[in-house]
Each structure stands twice: as C-alpha cells, then as structure tokens.
Amino acid sequence: MSSLKEKNQDIILHGSIYNAIAIIAIPSMVNSLLQTAYNLTDTFWLGHIGSNELAAINLVSPVQNIITNFGNGITVAGSVLIAQYIGAREREKAKIMASQIYVVATIFSILAALFCFLITPSLVVWLGAEGDVRTHASTYLQLVVLNIPLLFTTNVYAAINQAQGDAVHPMKLNLIGTAANLIMDPLFIVWLKMGPAGAAIATVASSAIPAVIALRLLFAPKDGIRISLKGFRFIKEEVIKIVTIGLPTSLGGSVTWVGFLLMSKNVLVYGPAAMAAYGISNKCNGVATLPISGVGSAVATIVGQNMGAGQVSRAEQAYKKAMYFGIIFLGVSGFIISRDAVSSLLVGIFSEDVQVRLYAADFLAVMSSWCWMNSVNTCTSGLFQGSGYTHVNMVVDISRLWIFRFATLFMFETMFGMGVRSVWYCVVISNALTALVYLCLYFMGFWRKSRFKRA
C-alpha cells in the first residue's frame, strides 16, 4: 500500500493533472455513491412502508448531519495539514498531526453522540412533529446517533489516506459497510417490522464493521502515515493549526445544516407528503451530482500537496480542469434528469404515494436543470480548502443558506404565493448566487499564498 501512496503522490506533484484528478476522484466518487446508496436504502424501504415513516427520518436527518459536519472540520483540517506536510516532505510532522487528529476526533464524537441523544425528545417537539411522525423521529434519532463515534473512526482513516493520495482503501471500507447495510435494512425494517428504529439499528450495526477495520489499520506500524499513541501528548502548535483550519469548516458545515433543519421545518408545514418528497428529490439529486463531490475532494488534495510544494500554478490548473469537467458532466446529466419522464421514473422508485411522487418529480426537475452550478461551488470550495482558507468556505456556505436561500424562500412565499414550490426555486437561486460569489473570490487571488508557515 505504501508504494501505491508514493506513486500517487508523485503523480499529484509531477504527473498528468488529469491522472492526478482521476486517482483521487474516481474512488471518491465511488465512496460518495456508496454513502448515497446507504441513505437511499433507508429511503427505499421506509418509503414503501408509509409516508409518515419516511417523513420522520427526513425531518431529523439534518440533526445528525449538524453533529457530523461540525466534527468533520477536524478531519478536514487533518487532511489539509497532512497533505501540505507531505508536499513539503515533512513526513514526521504529518505523522504527529495524524495522531493529534485521531484523539481530538474521538473525544469530540463521543461527547457529541451523548449530547444529541439527550436533546432528541425536546428537539423533535420543537421541529413541530406530531403523532406517528414525532414518535418515529425520536426513536430513530436516539438510536442512530450511536453511529457517530463509528463514523468518525472511518472518517479519520479516510482523511489520513486521502491526504497521501490514496482514496481506494477508504472506498473499500465504505463498500463493506454499504453491503452490510443493504442486507440489514430489509432484515430490521421489513422482516422484523421495526420501521425507523430498524433503519437506525441497521445503520449502526453496518457502520461498526468498517470502523473496527479502520481502527486496526490506523495503528498498522509499517503502512504509510499511521497513528501512534505511545507517549501521546497534545502539541499546542498542532492543535492551534487544527482549530484554525477546522473550526471554520465545523462552523460552516454545522450552521448550514441547522439551516437545512429549519428548511425541513418549513417544508413540514405543507404536510408529510411534501416532507417525504423533499427528502426523496434531494437524495436523487445527490446521486446525479455525487461524481463532482469526488472531483472536489481531488481538488482539495491536489491543491494541498502542490501548495505545500510551492507549485501554485499547478494547483490552479488542477482546479480549472476539474471545474470545467464538472460543468460539462452535470450540464448533460442534469438536462436528462430534468425531463418529466425521467424525473417521474426516478422518484417512483421510492414511493407509491401519488402526491409524494408529484411533489418529488417537480422538485427534482427544477434542481437538476441547474445542477451544473454545483461544479463551480464544489471545486472552488476544494481550492480554498486545499490552500487552507477554510474560513472563506465557512462564510460562503453560511451565506448560501441563511441569506440567499431564506431570503428567496420568504420572497416566493409571501410576495408571489408560490406555496411549496417556493422551496424548489429558492434552492436553485441560492446555489446560483453562491457560484457567483465563489468565482469572484477566486479571481481575487488571495488563495495563492498558503496560510501555513513551516520551519
């Protein structure tokens, strides 16, 4: 495995840029597909049980995402810092950073899971859930948060490996987890008739398998950059770097998901059918755009290593080529999915409810028509992440939801009386405004100067 990482690092720093993008993007795309399949499995089985069950998990899913996105700032910081240390040929510092990241992430994940478990009942009431939706949502969330420490173990393993240019082995772990979930979901949800509780149990059980494997590999003594806790102590300078890079990502991700939670609250006003449709169409759109999330991950890693090596122009070339590819890819695929026949066929897989299918097909058609903008957003975000300017991504992400999206939602609902379609269009417009802001920031050029000073 070490020789693979060394070969990939050489390609990232000196080889074909398209090859560099491919060696990280393709496994990352598969990773994203596996994660989406993970979520779609729950949606598929619960959608065929009833709209209340599906509405319940769609309502509270952003809560877990708030916690995991806040913690992901830690792993993002680790990936960026380790990549830059590798680019600068400072492997000992990279190893020290890996151990610091692991301990910080582990402590955070345990505390976060406990906190989320305790606040769940009050949170579900605040969201406005009633009756069966309230019961299912509370049960599901209190069980599924047990997955957080397991998820973080796997994420730390993925971050450390991707920083070295290896996205293949994390992909294999996700494949194991997804395969287990595909088997456990119908077992617990349908055959044992446990509904949303079964979905949560299946998620936790299937996550435990790759987490245990990741934990073993993280401490493997002769396999690239690995963790050692012998004589461990927190190093002030490294922790400051983690906070400096990770906190903006944490705040941006978690505050954004708080906004998504409020969006869910707004959608629920239109009834369980609208809430179920909102979840279905978002997941379908996620499948269509997931290749670009892999490309964005590749941009962050390539930019990180090349900035560490002082190769700024090469970092910029990788960003541009990745973004142009994404625009073309999403432009074509989005056009196809936005056709009525295609969007109706896709959402029909997840629900037999006529009203849910009508809502979901409409939303999916609107979103997919303009999904090419996701390439601008994701790749530019990767550029700023790799160069260490995660606070820029934080400000833009928060603005996208809390300013652009809620402002247009208010305008469409109150001024134009568009009802539930206000949600559909505010998503598209907020993404477009975000793309414009990202491009303006890119042309300012401040990202060319790395934020890290090394001795």
Q: How many other CB atoms are found less than 10 A from the CB of residue 436?
A: 13
Q: What is the pLDDT along the chain (455 residues), one digit of tens a residue?
A: 456 667 777 888 888 898 988 888 888 778 777 777 776 777 778 777 777 777 777 777 777 777 777 777 788 787 778 887 887 788 888 888 888 889 988 898 899 889 889 988 888 888 787 888 888 888 888 898 888 899 889 989 988 888 887 878 888 898 898 889 889 988 998 888 888 888 889 989 999 999 999 999 988 766 678 888 888 888 888 888 888 877 777 777 777 767 777 787 788 888 888 888 888 888 787 777 877 888 988 898 899 889 888 899 999 999 999 999 999 999 998 899 888 888 888 888 887 788 888 888 888 888 888 889 999 999 999 999 888 888 898 899 889 888 998 899 889 888 888 888 888 888 889 999 999 999 999 999 999 986 655 44
| Residue 28 confidence (pLDDT) | 79
| Residue 452 confidence (pLDDT) | 55
pTM: 0.69
Residue-range domain boundaries for the chain: 2-448
Q: Which candidate, 66, 15, 72, 1, places its Cα nearest to that of 297? A: 72
| Residue 322 confidence (pLDDT) | 94
